[in-house]
Every structure is written in structure tokens, then in C-alpha cells.
Amino acid sequence: MLVLRMTRHGAKKHPFYHIVVADSRSPRDGRYLENVGTYNPMLAKEDPKRVTLKEDRVKEWIKKGAQPSERVARFLHAAGLGPEVKWRESPKKSAPRAKTQERLKAATEGTKAPAAEAPAAAPAAAAPAATAKETPAA
């Protein structure tokens, strides 16, 4: 399967990426078929040189069936070469498992119900404490 993805270049702490067409089985910085653009995250977002694409070559590879990675798909949408990508803020892997979610849900429901009853009981409990404080002082 062909993919449009980024390969990292540049020095330590100064990333620079080439956007390439590669076989999905090849390593990230390994063999690729064609270089179709660049991405320099060190430049400002408004800078036109931040992302450069060879639009005609990108269109050709997409026609041939190349699938863009999420980040490259965002670049393509910004350049008007692809559909909008729905971006997940947090990865699915980091979400709690089903059993943990049930436990959290039960805990929040358990704390909400007593909290509704607690304000009615709180003034009654606060009054004796206030008299107890006044009694030793007098």
C-alpha cells in the first residue's frame, strides 16, 4: 500500500520533514518512491514556506491510491487538495478501559446524589457546632 507521509531530516531539536510517497512497509526514514514536498515546523504558521507541495505530483499519487497520514492529510486540506480531516485531540489508546469508565461513572453518580441531600443537612449540623464553640468561651 502506498502512503504519503513525512520523513524526518534536520538537526537535533531542529526538525525538518520531507513529504514523500512510500510503501507502508518501509521504515519512516527509509526508502521512498518520490519526494512531493517539505514541512518546516520551525517557521511561523502563516509563513508560506512552512509547507510546500508539488500539487500536480500529489494529485497523481492520490489517483494511484496513495493514502495520506493524518498530518499530511491536514496539509493537503489546507492546500485545497483533499477533504477535511477530523482531528482527535487525544489518542484512543490513552482513554480508560470500559471497566474503569463504568467505575468512574458510578463514582460521579454516587457523589452527585448525596451532594443534593447534603445542603439540607449541612445547616442543621453547623448550628450545634456554633453553639458548642460559644459555650466554652462564655
The whole-number mean pLDDT for each consecutive block of 10 residues of the chain, a chain of 138 residues, reads 92 94 88 93 93 93 91 91 78 82 88 58 53 55
| Cα(4)–Cα(58) distance, integer angstroms | 9
Question: Residue 19: what pLDDT?
Answer: 95
For domain 2-78, give the CATH superfamily: Ribosomal protein S16 (3.30.1320.10)
| Cα(137)–Cα(78) distance, integer angstroms | 73
Helix (H/G/I), strand (E/B), else coil: 18:
strand
Strand order in 67-68's β-sheet? Answer: 51-53, 34-39, 14-23, 2-11, 67-68
pTM passes above 0.75: no
Which contiguous run of DSSP H or E holds residue 6? Answer: strand 2-11
Sketch the domain layout of the chain as residue ranges: 2-78
Question: Residue 94: what pLDDT?
Answer: 78
| Cα(8)–Cα(15) distance, integer angstroms | 7
